[in-house]
Amino acid sequence: MDFSEFVLAFHEQIKVGSIFLNPQKGDSTVMSVKNGIVKYIRKKSPISVPLEVLYQSYSDFSGKKMSTNDLKAYKPEIFNSKASPAGHDCNTTFLFCVLMKMSLVKRIKGKGVSGDPFFVIID
Range of the domain at 38: 3-121
Split the chain (123 residues) into runs of 10 and give each run's mean pLDDT: 97 97 92 97 95 98 98 97 92 98 97 95 92
pTM of the complete model: 0.95
Total domains present in the chain: 1
Asked if residues 94 and 42 have their Cβ atoms less than 8 Å apart, the reply is yes
Indicate the helix (H) or strand (E) that contains 20.
Answer: strand 19-21
